[in-house]
Amino acid sequence: MKDKLIHKIHSKQAVIGIVGLGYVGLPLMLRFAEIGFDVLGFDIDYEKTAKLKSGLSYIKHIPDERINNSLDRLDVTNDYNRISEVDAIIICVPTPLNSHREPNLGFVIATIDAIVPQLRRGQIISLESTTYPGTTEEELLPRISLTNLKIGEDLFLVYSPEREDPGNTYFTTGSIPKVCGGITKHCLEVGIALYSAATVRVVPVSSTRTAEMTKLLENIHRAVNIGLVNELKIVADAMGIDIYEVIDAASTKPFGFTPYYPGPGLGGHCIPIDPFYLTWKARQYELNTRFIELAGEINTSMPDWVIGKVADALNEKGKSVNGSKILVLGLSYKKNIDDTRESPSIFIIDKLIKKGAKIDYSDPFIPVFPETRKLKLSLSSVELTSENLTSYDCIILATNHDMFDYDLIRRCAALIIDTRRVYRNKAENIYWA
């Protein structure tokens, strides 16, 4: 069965199933279709599947053209009974944290429970959702084993963490190496065949636990280093030192230093969330991940530090946060995308509203303020005209989209709080945060 499935993959006769068509699943589905595979996408969101069937994208950095060009090889559905039609099942569903910063595997478990009754011989199941080491063995394997299908002979189970970077035009789905770990040796062989067809390189590891830990290390590495530079930003600010000048100078060292840059906080689905998957799992082994948790505390405190800088700057102008009219530039967690997941801009807006500020926002990628679990606002993106800009007491540059006219903003704004260091030189109306 293993050799037969590998042959189907190599000959592109295999049908690829992608479960979860978000920021990870949609580009992966398009990648397989673009290289000649028939692909069946699954999502519980009827609006998403309806748009895809009409050739429309719901992710800004993925153009409609890519979907239209692939429609002859794409089909999308909300019906999990069709799982039996595919040879590869790649799961790309969210893995958020709950209110206690503990892993919420609800989407993963619900997906597995939905597909298990439809499984058949000759399929490979790959989990790509970020999670703690042991998830594939402890949660997926027992449920799949309830069937009469033997893992490694009839069915093949692997873990291969997603490495998507939304909006990155240099590294895309096909050009990013894929780590893959299998439950058995045969599982790994099928996993290598599957991802070798779509990516530049597959990096095999000894187990699914190793692959799961690899993903966490990648994101913890970034979270800890960003936490370090955020803390240094606060120290440098107190000392009257420009942290960006320091980073630029340190970056001239040709070895032993990698530049990381501070900001108003961490956003996205990975870096603010994934480290806590490991801290939770480590507690089961009676271990404390103090370094990781400290970095998390620093990073989550940055919106409050920014608000403190806003209050100080307004005070210098004889104003208070309460009653001030404030415009936040950029809702997404990073530049040139429409992804607001865990965006520090949202946290900043929420905190400013609670302090009595009158808030507007401007983001060319997000025309209407997205509803979150904690915040529901009836706001639309404000056009950046001279008249509009001059009407605000303060403008917070939270996300540095390329589409913003920074010269116009600088000329018209009474007060700018720059959290991304777009303006490298201070001016009377520019404050760094």
pLDDT of residue 230: 96
pLDDT digits (tens, 9 = 90+) for 349-369: 999 999 999 999 999 999 999
Q: Which two tokens stand for residue 314?
A: 């307004």
pLDDT digits (tens, 9 = 90+) for 407-427: 999 999 999 999 999 999 888
Q: Domain boundaries in the chain?
A: 2-206, 274-432
Q: Which residues of 182-215 are buried (b: 16+ CB within 10 A; e: fewer)?
A: bbbebbbbbbbbbbbbbbeebebbebbbebbbbb
Q: What is the mean pLDDT of residues 234-259?
A: 96
Give the containing element (helix H, strand E) for 85: none
* Percentage of residues of the chain with pLDDT beyond 90: 87
Give the C-alpha separation, 201 to 144, whole Å: 28
What is the sign, positive or negative, of the torsion defined by CA atoms of 298, 299, 304, 307?
A: positive
Angle subtended at Cα 423 by Cα 422 and Cα 427, rounded to the nearest 5 degrees: 155
pLDDT of residue 276: 85
Instruction: Please give the positions annotated as active site.
Output: 270
Residue 83 has pLDDT above 90, yes or no: yes
pLDDT of residue 234: 97
Q: Does residue 348 contact residue 303 with C-beta atoms inside 8 Å?
A: yes
| Topology classification of domain 2-206 | Rossmann fold (3.40.50)
- The rounded mean pLDDT for the chain is 94
- The domains spanning 2-206 and 274-432 adopt the same CATH topology: yes
CATH (one of 3.40.50.620, 1.10.3470.10, 3.30.200.20, 3.40.50.720) for 274-432: 3.40.50.720
Give the C-alpha separation, 75 to 274, whole Å: 31
Give the C-alpha separation, 25 to 42, whole Å: 9
Residue 273 has pLDDT above 90, yes or no: no
